[in-house]
Amino acid sequence: MTTPLKKKNGLGRGLSALLENAESDITTRENRPVGGVYQIPLDQLEANPFQPRTEFDQILLEELAESIKVHGVIQPITVRKMGYDKYQLISGERRTRASILAGLEKIPAYVRVANDQDMLEMALIENIQRSDLNAIEVAMSYKRLMEECSLKQDELGQRVGKDRTTVNNYLRLLRLPDEIQSGIKSGNISMGHARAMINMDDMAEQLEMYHQIVDEKLSVRDVETLVKDKKEGRKESIPLKGTDWDPEIDRITALFHEKLKSAVHLKHSGRGKGKIIITYKNQNDLERILGLIG
């Protein structure tokens, strides 16, 4: 009989709390009770249907595989017992994939019994605790925990070791347009940029600001200042009747942008009057624009 390893402390608070209640007398064909760490054959392991992450960087997987060839799998994966010689992955899919690439036949695994609700919660919490997740992946995991595990924000914060404000800041990112969310995932903008744009009420203005951030490589401080100026300017501006959308106005706006290499917005009234808003990022940029106009 294989002697189970002693369970180590230091797992994430939420995942550790769940694992502490994993008591069962179910055994494997080799008479291995759940609740310990064992070497599990990889061909007896099936994927976790609740895995919240679907994309894995192939280069990083290959780098991890090379490390595993030298050092082995340092942190055991977590699996649930499905029957004799059959396990289902709860957490650790990246380590599992890398182990297969490394040519391993077995992998160290903490064996436990879990129902579907437990599996979903543990997989999500384990995923959130990774350091390489982007802000949208974290936000989506928070959302799934709240919706599918019936958790309130305070309860969610306790599970993942975050305060309510932090949880709420991530969830608010999901209100942004899809294009901006994709920009966060791809690294075009940071969470700091996104948080500043959340305070803008108009989706079109958010998208305009997003493109300006990417085109002009604005800092988070730049964006915060621009958003603040927009809000203050909106309060002081004279309202213009009519619509901003007009094919001719769009054409002229595009020409301004091409000429000035800066974000330009035309406000056009139904009576033909309006105003031009030219955005500059610093004093030198303003001088450059003035030179072009002059």
**Smallest Cα–Cα separation from 106: which of 19, 171, 32?**
32
Place of tokens 């072009």: 292
Q: What angle do the packed helices 178-186 and 135-148 form, to 10 degrees?
A: 120
Tell me whether residue 23 is one of the annotated catalytic residues.
Answer: no
Q: Are 29 and 84 in contact (CB under 8 A)?
A: yes
From the candidates 93, 121, 126, 137, give the one annotated as an active-site residue.
93
User: Which residues lie below 8 Å from residue 128, measured CB to CB, with a gap of 6+?
Assistant: 138, 141, 142, 160
- Indicate the SS3 state at residue 39: strand
Q: Are 99 and 107 in contact (CB under 8 A)?
A: yes
Give the β-pairing of 37-41 and 77-83: unpaired
- Indicate the SS3 state at residue 45: strand
Question: Which active-site residues does the annotation give?
Answer: 93
